C-alpha cells in the first residue's frame, strides 16, 4: 500500500511569499521609453486594450464596406445595361445598400433627393458599425470575429426590414415595383 501524500498547507494566496533572488527582478526606477515599439499610450501593441481600440476605431468604417460594395454593384448594373435583370439588381441592391431610399419613395420620388438618402444611409451604416464595435468590445478579449458577428445580426435585421417593406409596397402598389 502506497503512503498518502501530506495535505498542502492552507495558506491564502495573497499571504504566500515567493522567494525570488533580487538580481532577477527588473529595476524599479526605470520606466519603458515612450519610443518603445511595443508600447503605445493605450497599452501594449497587440494587447487587449490596443485591440479593443482598433475595433472601436476601424469597426464603423468597415461597416460601410458591405453596403458600399453592394451599392457599387447596383449602380454599375444600372449604368452598364438596360436589360430587365439589371433593373432588378440595381433596384434591390440599391435598397439593400441604402435603406433610406425606401423612406424617400425611390424609384418614384424626385431624383434630386437620392444623394440625401444615400448620405442618410451611410450615416445609418456608420452608426450600426459603431454599435457593433461597442457591443463586441464589451468582452475584454474582443476579436474581429465578435465585431462581425454583431454587425451581421444587425445587417440581417435591417435587410429583413427592407424585404418586408418591398413586399408591402408590392402588395399595395402592385407588381410594378419589381417588374421582372
In a domain, 109, yes or no: yes
pLDDT at position 38 is 56
Domain range for 70 is: 45-173
In a domain, 134, yes or no: yes
Residue 13: C-alpha distances to residues 9, 16, 20, 133 (Å): 11, 5, 17, 37
Do 126 and 63 touch, CB atoms closer than 8 A? yes
In a domain, 124, yes or no: yes
In a domain, 179, yes or no: no
In a domain, 6, yes or no: no
Q: pTM of the predicted model, to two decimals?
A: 0.70
Among residues 136, 167, 165, 170, which one has the least CA distance to residue 151?
Answer: 136
In a domain, 99, yes or no: yes
- pLDDT tens for the 180 residues of the chain, in order: 677 776 666 655 555 555 555 555 555 555 555 555 555 555 556 778 888 999 999 999 999 999 999 999 999 998 998 888 888 899 899 999 999 998 888 887 888 998 999 999 999 999 999 999 999 999 888 899 999 999 999 999 999 999 999 888 888 877 665 555
- Cα distance between residue 44 and residue 60, in whole Å: 23
Domain count, the chain: 1
In a domain, 38, yes or no: no
In a domain, 87, yes or no: yes
What grid cell was written down for 52? 479593443
Do 123 and 58 touch, CB atoms closer than 8 A? no
Amino acid at each position: 500500500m502506497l503512503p498518502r501524500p501530506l495535505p498542502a498547507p492552507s495558506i491564502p494566496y495573497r499571504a504566500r511569499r515567493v522567494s525570488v533572488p533580487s538580481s532577477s527582478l527588473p529595476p524599479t526606477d526605470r520606466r519603458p521609453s515612450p519610443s518603445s515599439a511595443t508600447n503605445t499610450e493605450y497599452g501594449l501593441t497587440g494587447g487587449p486594450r490596443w485591440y479593443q481600440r482598433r475595433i472601436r476605431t476601424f469597426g464603423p468604417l468597415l461597416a460601410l464596406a458591405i453596403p458600399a460594395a453592394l451599392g457599387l454593384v447596383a449602380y454599375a448594373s444600372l449604368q452598364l445595361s438596360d436589360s430587365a435583370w439589371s433593373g432588378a439588381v440595381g433596384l434591390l441592391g440599391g435598397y439593400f445598400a441604402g435603406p433610406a431610399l425606401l423612406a424617400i419613395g425611390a424609384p418614384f420620388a424626385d431624383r434630386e433627393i437620392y444623394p440625401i438618402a444615400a448620405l442618410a444611409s451611410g450615416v445609418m451604416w456608420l452608426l450600426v458599425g459603431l454599435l457593433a464595435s461597442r457591443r463586441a468590445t464589451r468582452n475584454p478579449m474582443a476579436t474581429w470575429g465578435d465585431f462581425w458577428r454583431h454587425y451581421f445580426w444587425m445587417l440581417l435585421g435591417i435587410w429583413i426590414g427592407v424585404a418586408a417593406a418591398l413586399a408591402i409596397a408590392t402588395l399595395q402598389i402592385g407588381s410594378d415595383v419589381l417588374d421582372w
